[in-house]
Structure 1
Amino acid sequence: MGKVVVIGAGQAAASLVARLRAEGHDGEITVIGAEAVPPYQRPPLSKAYLLGEMDQERLYLRPRDFYEAQGIELMLGTPVTAIDLSARTLIANGEMIGWDDLVFCTGSEPRRLPAAIGGTLDGVCVVRTLADVDAMAPRFTKGARVLIVGGGYIGLEAAAVASKLGLKVTLVEMAERILQRVAAPETADFFRALHSAHGVDIREGVGLGALTGAGRVEAAELTDGTKLPVDFVIAGVGIVPEVELAEAAGIAIENGIRTDATGRTSAPNVWAAGDCASFPHKGAQIRLESVGNAIDQAELVADNILGAGRAYEAKPWFWSDQYDVKLQIAGLNHGYDRVVVRKGEGTCSHWYYAGATLLALDAMNDPRAYMVGKRLIEAGKSPDPDAVADPATDLKTLLK
């Protein structure tokens, strides 16, 4: 079998190479990663790891000796600088490496605050890599004043950790409300109340005007004229797919590295999976930024490198942990026109409908609703909204 080279050493890469070996690929496999550590979990970085509840070794998706035992070469701390598609070679750390199949698992990178508004001052942080969190962790001291820019899930999770550690937290969201791009007003209301109850100062419809300080950030000026003293800032303003290397090689880009339903890019024997890859879904070219997608798409690509010829059928699911609330999301809510609220004792779920069609749900501390809703969405079934809203309805009966 041919040599498979994977660029990127995150969740998608780890899943892909493990699948290749499990399915019998006996050719060479090389994983090239810019970070100096083996593939690791990212979600716990800003939660359990930052809180000190998980050490670095537990972050690793596989122990280091797994890769050695499986004959998988890890080239870590080694950025790829050039790709020659016609010669099927690439340059990494000055070394030319050949490949028969190449896979982009380059993931995504955080959007950063512009230098023009003080985004490069010391103390302006992002949350993406192990190094990011290690650099930021010493700033999380009780009583420190942190400004979080962005009211999406990244910003809200950072706010929850900071609040739990006793920091004074202000969160600004320039849109009309938090979670405006990804969730219904009902879900935003739930999490706004949750954070307010924990002392987080949430300011909506207010952006960041500028950060000021002598070398390090000392104050923030908001667009409403407010000036806040700050000890550090966390930018949680979204992520963008890592496509520069693929684009420079001449590979088609469309909302990420464009793939077909099998994971193939526009170049022969070149594939992509995970955050960096877009794929056809219901008439659009979409990307999914989630662990579940990284695993499923990577395993599909591994199978297709081995000749399976399968098409990707996305089953979107996501989660977020904030304080003692576990949010579980199934489906995609794009195009919803109605939200059905179901409340239980200590639980809540929001069901998104477009007409009579169930699209997605947000379940807060309600794993039963999540599991039932996910199965319904994947089966293309849409229960009566009134039955969903009725707390007397046994959700399992909706599956029949």
Structure 2
Amino acid sequence: MTGQHPFVIVGAGLAGARAAQTLREEGFDGKIVLFGEEAERPYERPALSKGLLLRTTERDSVFVHDASWYEEHDVDLHTDTRVTTLDRQARQVTLADGRRFGYDRLLLATGSRARSLPVPGAHLDGVLRLRTLADCDRISDAIVDGASVVIVGAGWIGLEVAAAARTRGAAVTVVETADLPLQRVLGDQLATVFADLHRDHGVTFRFGAQVHEFRGSNRVSAVLLADGTVLPAELVVVGVGVLPNTELAEQAGLAVDNGVVVDHTLRTSDPRIWAAGDLANAHHPLLNVRVRVEHWANALHSGPAAARGMLGRTVSYDRLPYFYTDQYELGMEYTGHAPPGSYDRIVVRGELSGGEFMAFWTAQGRVLAGMNVNVWDVTGPIGQLIRSRQPVDLDRLADPTVALESLVGRG
């Protein structure tokens, strides 16, 4: 099935590491080469904005495999190594140091990078973004008791960093251009829950605000907003989203549109190349739309799916998007896909003020997505409701006494 060249994986994050693991588990005995730009071996990122910042998670626990696993499974891991070019005709990748590696099959799992904020002072020491273990270490060292922390962006990363910083005693101000945190993702009703949660824990919000400048000599000392407000800051964390690392794919002439375009098997426009994780803009066979998912669960599952595709197995990657968050006493899971404009009603099961509830985004009675807050062991039934693609009785959906399983297939 394979030629003389190895299977090459570019990107040593969770997706790439899990792909290598799956190749071995599926019986592939050829050479596997795994390239990663970071100095660390592959690790999982959720703890970077949660347990590691809170210092409740041991650093070693975030790594995908023990350090010895790669040698034991004959995976040639190259850390601190950047792939600069991809030659599809020659089936080679070139490294920054000029070395070339041929491939028989190639997986792109280069992930994404945190967006920067193009304002004066963005280069100052103490203006950080959270994407890597090294970023987490620097932020964790700075969110000490009494420190003044400004977070730019009230998305998931921004709010999780805010929760960790407040829990550790820092004074936190969150600057957000919208009127509520997570407003575009959740809508006003659910976004208010998160605004109230953080206010109750002492976070100050500056909504409808834009950063004009970061001030300081060598290290940041203040944030100047567009309306002239000056916020003291010993640390700034910029959390304004991520960008997929598509440069290698673009240079090689692969189809790129908000990520690398792949089909339901995660194969790119080149039949010898696959893409997985944050990078992949995949056709979802159940949802019948293209989705690019930036969350942990997608990396966890799409890497193995791509590996099976590389081996010629039958693959149809139809995992429902899933993510979770932990903020103070609130734990939440979200399953499904309900972008703005796709739904006509949000159905709430339980009381938003009670701290335990579920919410469902629906369109013409069909459940598109569901969120459970401090309610556990329900992601299975929520997924069944979404997968059924059938209308449900929304009054029964809102009734906590009605089992979710009983609603599947019933209008």
SS in 1 for 2:30: coil
- Residue identity (%): 40
CA displacement at 1:217 relative to structure 2: 1.1
Matches for 1:217-236 after TM superposition, within 5 Å: 217-236=220-239
CA displacement at 1:311 relative to structure 2: 2.5
Amino acid in the other structure paired with 1:156: L
2:17 equivalent to 1:10: no
Amino acid in the other structure paired with 2:102: G
SS in 1 for 2:186: coil
CA displacement at 1:186 relative to structure 2: 2.0
Which of 297, 301, 308 in structure 1 is aligned with 2:302? Answer: 297
8 A Cα contact 1:319 1:326, kept in partner:
yes
Amino acid in the other structure paired with 1:292: A
Which of 358, 365, 385 in structure 2 is aligned with 1:349? Answer: 358
The one-character-per-residue Cα deviations of 1:33-65 (angstroms, maximum 9, x if unpaired) are 001111101000121112222222211111121
After TM superposition, the structure 1 stretch with the greater mean CA deviation from structure 2, 219-228 or 146-155, is 219-228
Aligned pairs, number: 399
* Residue of structure 1 equivalent to 2:130: 127
2:117 equivalent to 1:108: no
2:299 equivalent to 1:275: no
Amino acid in the other structure paired with 2:404: L
* Residue of structure 1 equivalent to 2:103: 99
SS in 2 for 1:218: strand
TM-score with structure 1 setting the length? 0.96
Which of 383, 399, 402 in structure 2 is aligned with 1:393? Answer: 402
SS in 2 for 1:285: strand
After TM superposition, the structure 1 stretch with the greater mean CA deviation from structure 2, 224-233 or 371-380, is 371-380
CA displacement at 1:136 relative to structure 2: 2.1
8 A Cα contact 2:388 2:408, kept in partner:
no
* Residue of structure 1 equivalent to 2:376: 367
Amino acid in the other structure paired with 1:105: A
2:256 equivalent to 1:253: yes
Which of 65, 70, 75 in structure 2 is aligned with 1:67? Answer: 70
Matches for 1:298-337 after TM superposition, within 5 Å: 298-334=303-339, 335-337=342-344
Which of 206, 210, 221 in structure 2 is aligned with 1:207? Answer: 210
8 A Cα contact 1:255 1:285, kept in partner:
no
* Residue of structure 2 equivalent to 1:137: 140
TM-score with structure 2 setting the length? 0.93
CA displacement at 1:117 relative to structure 2: 2.6
2:384 equivalent to 1:380: no
2:80 equivalent to 1:77: yes
Distance 1:283 1:359 in 2: 12
CA displacement at 1:313 relative to structure 2: 1.5
Unaligned runs of 5+ in 2: none
8 A Cα contact 2:277 2:302, kept in partner:
yes
CA displacement at 1:8 relative to structure 2: 0.5
SS in 1 for 2:38: coil
8 A Cα contact 2:366 2:386, kept in partner:
no
SS in 2 for 1:262: coil
2:266 equivalent to 1:263: yes
RMSD of the TM alignment (CA)? 1.6
CA displacement at 1:74 relative to structure 2: 0.4
* Residue of structure 2 equivalent to 1:338: 345
Amino acid in the other structure paired with 1:50: L
CA displacement at 1:358 relative to structure 2: 0.8
Distance 1:368 1:134 in 2: 33
